[in-house]
Amino acid sequence: MRRTNASKSDPDTGMDTMKFAAGLTVTGVVGWLLLEALKMLMVPVTAWVIAMLTIALKVVLVIVGLGVALGVGIFFLKRSQTESSA
């Protein structure tokens, strides 16, 4: 009886299937680890982004408020000058 060594790519041994399954398993484990790391990192990152947006909104509202106050002041100044000269 003649015995031959099965090569690694022999379809009868199932080695290709095992390599594929091992690759999928490693990919899944690495993906899960990355997801867990991102879950931990996203909490402070999200808080920082919200803080920056809040600061930007405050700056915009202060600029708008100053612009409105300046515009109203100029309006009443011009109005009082035209009424006093008339």
Position 84 confidence tier, pLDDT thresholds 50, 70, 90: confident
Each residue's pLDDT tens digit, 53-66: 999 999 999 999 99
Distance CA 31, CA 26 (A): 8
Q: State residue 1's pLDDT score.
A: 53
Looking only at Cα atoms, what is the longest distance across the chain? 125
Residues 6+ apart with CB under 8 A from 12: 6
Each residue's pLDDT tens digit, 7-50: 555 555 667 878 888 877 888 899 999 999 999 999 999 999 99
